[in-house]
Each structure stands twice: as C-alpha cells, then as structure tokens.
Chains A and B, each alone.
Chain A
Amino acid sequence: MWAIEFYQMGTAVRMGPAYFPAVLGFLQVALGAIILAGSFALEGPPVDTFYFRPLILVTVATIAYGYLMKPAGLIGATAALVYISALGGDEFNWKEVTILFVALILFSVLVFVKGLTLPFPICPDFIENCPIR
C-alpha cells in the first residue's frame, strides 16, 4: 500500500511544452494522495514479501549481458547471463548449468548470428583469430 513513494515524482515538469505532462503530473499526485490516504484509513492485506535474491540476480544478469556484449562477445555475455541468473533459482548445479550454457551458445550462434545475420561479435575482444565467425 505504500505506493506513494514512487508516485510523487509526477511533478517533474520541464519548461516549454509542459502542458500535457503537467496535467498528468497533477493527476498523479492527486491519485498518489488518494492511495496514501487509503493505505492509512483502510485495513488491507500486508504487502507481499519481497524476494530480493531472484530480483537482484536476474536483473544483474540481464544488464551484464548488455554491457558484456561488446568487450566479451556473445560467448562471454551469455556465460554471464546464464550463470548469474541460474544462481537466482532455487537449485544450482554446475554441470546442468554448463550444459544449458553450451546449448544456448550453439543455438544463439546458429539461429541469431548465422540464421538471422545479426551483427554480434561471437568471441571476446582479446582473442584475435576467432575460430567461429
């Protein structure tokens, strides 16, 4: 019920063509106020527990993929994503995750790089002569 914290940003309006955003901003503040008032006035079910482990690991894994693509290539990026996100699950087994990683690399290279000709680097930067191109 404490949604207010992130509803209040609504008034951040730039100058100039600010008419529409300003109207929306005021509307949002009003709605935020109603929700806040409601959260104090009414007895509701408590907010569900947050599970931070999958939340953080999955998010980090995804972002790492994006930023590792250029320096570490498709192989490095996929490795980071698969291993980090797998840690977010309730079971982690090195052998299984490695099999999954290899399968996904093969699939990505064949379908996306070869099949759909997406311009991804496959190998990390520091390997000069990449065996697969």
Chain B
Amino acid sequence: MEIFHNLAMGFGIAISPMHLVYALIGCLLGTLVGVLPGIGSVATIAMLLPITFNLTPVAALIMLAGIYYGAQYGGSTTSILVNIPGEATSVVTCLDGYQMARQGRAGAALAVAALGSFFAGCVATVLIAVAAPPLAEVALKFGPSEYFSLMVFGLIAATVLAHGSLVKAIAMVVWGLLFGLIGTDVNSGVLRFTFGIPELSDGIGFVIVAMGMFGTTEIIVNLEKKGEREVFTKNVTKLWPTKDDFKRSWGAVLRGTALGSCLGILPGGGALLSSFGAYSLEKKLSKHPERFGKGAIEGVAAPESANNAGAQTSFIPMLTLGIPGNAVMALMIGALMIQGIAPGPQVMNEKPDLFWGLIASMWVGNAMLVVLNLPLIGMWVKLLTVPYRYLFPSILVFMAIGVYSLSNNPFDVLIMGIFGVVGYICAKLECEPAPMVLGFILGPLMEENLRRAMLLSRGDPTVFFTKPISATFMIASVILLVAVALPAIRKKREEVFVEED
C-alpha cells in the first residue's frame, strides 16, 4: 500500500528532533493564544509569518499548522472556565461548558473537550492522507478555465458560509479582489490603483492586510468591552469524566467529527462553521433538547470535536488545489510563497516530504496537545488571570515588529494601521473580514486565470460552461447563490449562527 509507505515516510520526518521541537512550539503557542481571549490564531500566524522565513518549509508549516489546531484545544479551556470564548471557534462551547463548570464539573468538560478533539484530530489526519492524493491527481488536469470557475465557486461558498448579510459578504469579496489588484499589472507593467505612491507598486503584502484586519481590529474591539470575568480556577480537580459522561458524549463526538470533516473541506468552512453546525445538530437530534444550555456534555463534546476536525480538513483544498478555504489557509499559502513554493496540486509530487511530513505532524501534534491540555491545565488557567491591559500592548509590539521586519519600511506599518481602521469599520457595519481576505489572495490568481482562459478560447466566455469540470463548478456556484436566496434555506442559515448571540 502506497499510503502506508508515504505515511511512514511522513512520520520519519515528523519525529525528527527538529520538527518535533517546531511542532511543540506551534502547539504551545496555539494553546496559548487559544486560551487567551482577544488574540486569535489568524493574528498569531500572521505575526509569525516573517519569522518562518528563516525556517525550512517543512518546519514552518508544521509550526503554523500546530498553532491553528492548538488554538482549537486552548479555546475550549477559556470557554469552559471563564464563559468568554478564547477563540471564535469555541463560542458555542461557552453555552454548556460554562454551565458544567458552574456545577463543579469543569474537569469533566475539559477532559471531554480535549479527548473529543484528539479523536477528531486523528480521524481528520487519516482523512487528509486518504483523500488528498486522488484530489490532487484530478487537480493536475485543471486548466485556467477550471481554476477560474473553482475560484468563483470558492468565493461564493465563502460568502454563503460567512454569517451576516449575503450582499455585504459578496461586497467584501469584491473589495478583497480589488485590493489584491493594487500594484503593477503582470502582463503590461502598468501601475494600477497606486495613486502615485511608489511603495504601492509591488502591491500590498498579504500579511500586512491580515494583521491589520484581524490583529489590530481585534484589539480595538476588545478594548471597548469592559467585561468582568469570573474564573473557575479552584474546582478543576476531578479531571476524569464519569462513565455516564462517556456514554452520552461518544455519539456526539462521532457526529461532530463527521460534520466537522465535511464542513472543513468546503471553501469558507473550517473550524468556525463546524462548531456552530455541530452544536445545532446535536440539539436537534437530542431526546432532551431542553438540557442544552444547562450543562449538557454533548454540547461540549460535539462542537469541540467538530472544530478540530474542521480545522484540519480545511488543509485539504489548500494542499491539493492551492486554494485557501479560510483566512488561516490563506496565510499558509502565504507561508509557502515566502518559501518560494508555488501552492497547487504539484506540491504533493514535488515536495512529498513537505506534504506527508505535515500530515504526520498533525497526529503527533494532537497527541502533544492532549498532554499539554489535560495534565498541564493548571498552567493555562493561571494565564487567564493576566489582565488584558498587559496583553494588548505586548501583542501590538509583536505585530509591529513583525510587519516592520518584512522590509524595514515604516510604510508597511502605516498600511497595517489603515487596515486596522478599515477592519474596525467593517466590524461595526457587520461586514465579515474573512471573505475580503480570501478575495485579496485570490484576486491576482483569478485575473491571471481569466486572462489565460480568454486567450486560449479567443475571447469566448462560453468556455466556462462548455468544459465539464468548469461547468460543474459554475453550476454549483449558481445553485449555491439561488439556494441561499430562497427563504427556507436562508432561515436555516440564520438559525445556525443564531447560537452566537
């Protein structure tokens, strides 16, 4: 079996001492930012991107991936103990997790969250190993028109799955596409949207935009909330869940994992949507839906497994197609590009060590995280007592250093500041930043593929509908758009996100 051979090779790479250290650093950092409310995995990964320049590609990706799924573990801790989501993906865990903590069962909630996440992580790792190679094979046959259609589909799916107004989400995507076009046009060398500013001729760095939109904005939004926290630090004693807890949660873990794995693959999906979806599914399936919100263990087990599964399977489209499904994956693509690797289906064949090493490291990382999160829980709980007024200037310093070090140019920091303001305005107007960031990274790619497709078809736009694969994506996009516009489904979509309030 080739897959076992490949996996064995991957494990060989993942357990080399250097990569183990980077996986551990990633998991530690991930748990840290997961536990700390007010700093998310997107901002952290964006912050660390410039630093990965000095690492090998494998080490860089192992570390960044560790941050992403590590944050899924850490986020649950804060949700359960403080009733504040440490990470956006743990919002629904607050509902039942915090209630369990108030009933003195914080230990059981934490253990179920960690074990459920571990199970989901294992399944998702296997899924990536099995599903990615055939997908990449198909993707190798893609021409420009297929790529263009796929990106259209991806962006539309991203807007459908983003919450809030659909029109606003599409508008945000278009903004992102436009921002992505700033700089020199590749084909003609004409400067576009630079307004005579020489620094803009190379375009705006993706890291800078991401840090502004997610990092600075997050800080500003957090500063206006003056919430008091009630931390349950004392009663985290009995960690092991009871037999009854196990019996009630294994089904939820299985369903959460399955749902999370599916949603993670979809563009625009990933961890956030998975956790919301899993919670509503559990509530709907339960014989006693009234227990939800009052400390039902299923309400912790399902979303926590789902967000971890979703976090990991969202690597599939990134690794096989070179198309990011969410903001974190867009950053991963940024990391690959920094290393001089063009993301796409060819990565698997040209850099098998990178691909299989990353997959194997996910399993290793998940195992590390269970250890980090269960026996060492006390350490993370202590961190929660650090007040935010110490944290946010530190976060700002690290972000500013990261951006400044990209090219030692203050202009980059200025752009980050501007995007921080833009992000804040968007947050106030309830426009999601994630679709914009996706559009930003896909903008130049889309234009390039559109041009090539038009060149090959001699300007005939029907090419997108006559080629079978391309047509499938186009039709799927149209169906998605129509479906969302239908009242019944729109109501359902709103229901899924309503748990957040």
Q: Which residues of A contact B (CB under 8 A)?
A: 1-3, 6-7, 10, 12, 14-18, 20-21, 24-25, 27-28, 31-32, 34-35, 38, 47-48, 50-51, 54-55, 58-63, 65-67, 69-70, 77-78, 81-82, 85-86, 88-91, 96-97, 100, 104, 108, 112, 116, 118-120
Contacts and interface: CB of A to CB of B under 8 A. Distances in A.
Given A3-B431, A96-B389, A28 B192 contact: no
Residue of A1, A20, A86, A112 most packed against chain B (CB within 10 A): A20
B406 to A, nearest CB: 10
Contacts of A21: 178, 181, 192-193
Residue of B165, B192, B403, B411 most packed against chain A (CB within 10 A): B192
B395 to A, nearest CB: 10
A11 to B, nearest CB: 11
- Chain B contact residues, majority secondary structure: helix
B216 A59 contact: yes
Contact of B393 (A2, A6, A60, A100): A100
Interface in B151-204: 165, 167-168, 170-171, 174-175, 177-178, 181, 185, 187-188, 190-193
A117 to B, nearest CB: 9
B226 A90 contact: yes
B167 A116 contact: no
Contacts of B494: none
A106 to B, nearest CB: 12
B171 A31 contact: yes
A78 B410 contact: no
10 contacts: A24-B174, A35-B171, A54-B219, A55-B421, A58-B396, A62-B399, A66-B412, A85-B392, A96-B390, A116-B51
A50 B425 CA distance: 8
Contact of A17 (B165, B185, B410, B424): B185
A49 to B, nearest CB: 8
A7 B399 CA distance: 28
Residue of B400, B409, B412 most packed against chain A (CB within 10 A): B400
B216 A28 contact: no
A17 B405 contact: no
Interface in B457-473: none
B414 interface: yes
A78 B190 CA distance: 38
B450 A20 contact: yes
Contacts of A97: 393
A111 to B, nearest CB: 9
Contact of A58 (B185, B193, B219, B397): B219
A54 B410 contact: no
A104 B51 CA distance: 18
Interface in B413-431: 413-414, 416-417, 420-421, 424-425, 428-429, 431
B56 interface: no
A47 B446 CA distance: 34
Contacts, number: 160
Contacts of B226: 90
B447 interface: yes
B349 interface: no
Residue of B185, B397, B409, B417 most packed against chain A (CB within 10 A): B397
Interface string B433-476: 00000000000001100110000000000000000000000000
Chain B interface bracket (under 10, 10 to 19, 20 to 34, 35 or more): 35 or more
Given A24-B174, A82-B397, A108-B401, A58 B413 contact: no
A20 B389 contact: no
Contact of A61 (B175, B396, B421, B447): B396
Given A35-B165, A66-B412, A66-B414, 15 more contacts: A14-B192, A16-B190, A17-B190, A17-B192, A20-B181, A20-B450, A20-B451, A27-B174, A32-B171, A62-B417, A86-B393, A96-B390, A100-B394, A108-B401, A119-B408
A20 B447 contact: yes
Given A81-B393, A90-B226, A25 B178 contact: yes
A54 B396 CA distance: 13
Interface of B: 51, 54, 165, 167-168, 170-171, 174-175, 177-178, 181, 185, 187-188, 190-193, 216, 219-220, 223-224, 226, 388-390, 392-394, 396-397, 399-401, 403-405, 408-414, 416-417, 420-421, 424-425, 428-429, 431, 446-447, 450-451
B168 A14 contact: no
A66 B413 contact: yes
Contacts of A15: 190
A78 B413 CA distance: 13
B457 to A, nearest CB: 15
Given A31-B171, A51-B223, A62-B417, A10 B178 contact: yes
Contacts of A100: 390, 393-394
Contacts of B216: 58-59, 62
A3 B170 CA distance: 13
A62 B396 contact: yes
Given A3-B171, A31-B171, A119-B408, A81 B450 contact: no
Contacts of A77: 400
B170 A31 contact: yes
Which 6 residue pairs spanning A and B have beta carbons closest together?
Answer: A66-B413, A66-B410, A54-B223, A51-B224, A65-B400, A31-B171
Nearest to A60: B417
Contacts of B411: 66
B393 A54 contact: no
A97 B408 CA distance: 27
A88 B397 CA distance: 15
A82 B412 CA distance: 19
Contacts of B401: 108, 112, 118, 120
Nearest to B396: A85
